[in-house]
């Protein structure tokens, strides 16, 4: 596994080793011991989630606030998506900044998203399967969303009229959100 650090504290790109031959390919998508040793992060994942989306679906920007905040390890098992995160940790120099990466079944990249980040993605292929490993269980009481096209965040998604849920159409603006993350 190749570990690539970003300019955001603890936001890490993982590139698994893929073995290919005439039969196809094999990769280890997650190994807890190797993850801890190679990333230096001591996290425990307790819930796996999967979404299947049609092309041009945008999901996000989602996160959970304390005491049920979540870190996530995300990847695309089928298709492709632009993955976007926003740093909500007020004491970090990257507070309010966003990061974007293409995750796909072809490139096999994964992104570790620490607690204190809003997360979303835009599917660029039909039938995109997006997988999440989460460090905390889902809590509707702690579930929050930021507006995907918030003018203060100014995220370059690459799409102007995505398919959105009601929740994502009515999310908070960045100015309305008071961050509990430090």
H or E stretch at 34: helix 32-39
- 19 has catalytic annotation: no
Active-site hit among 19, 62, 127, 137: 62
Burial of 1 from C-beta contacts in 10 A (0-12 / 13-18 / 19+): middle
Q: Is the peptide bond before 117 cis (omega within 30 degrees of 0)?
A: no
Instruction: Return the closest-CA partner of residue 133 out of 74, 78, 83.
Output: 74
Question: Which residue out of 19, 119, 127, 132 is catalytically annotated?
Answer: 132
Cα distance between residue 23 and residue 2, in whole Å: 24
Residue 127 annotated among the catalytic residues of the structure? no
Residues with active-site annotation: 62, 132
């Amino acid at each position: 596994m190749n570990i690539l650090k970003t300019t955001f504290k603890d936001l890490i790109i993982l590139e698994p080793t893929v073995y290919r031959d005439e039969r196809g390919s094999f990769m280890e998508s997650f190994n807890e011991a190797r993850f801890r040793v190679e990333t230096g992060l001591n996290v425990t994942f307790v819930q796996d989630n999967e979404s299947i989306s049609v092309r041009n679906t945008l999901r996000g920007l989602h996160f959970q606030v304390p005491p049920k905040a979540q870190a996530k390890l995300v990847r695309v098992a089928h298709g492709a998506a632009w993955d976007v995160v926003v740093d909500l940790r007020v004491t970090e120099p990257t507070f309010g900044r966003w990061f974007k990466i293409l995750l796909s079944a072809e490139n096999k990249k994964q992104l570790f998203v620490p607690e204190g980040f809003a997360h979303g993605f835009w599917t660029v292929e039909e039938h995109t399967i997006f997988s999440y490993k989460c460090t905390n269980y889902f809590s509707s009481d702690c579930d929050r969303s930021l507006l995907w096209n918030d003018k203060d965040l100014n995220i370059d998604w690459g799409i102007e009229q995505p398919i959105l849920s009601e929740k994502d159409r009515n999310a908070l603006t960045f100015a309305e959100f008071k961050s509990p993350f430090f």
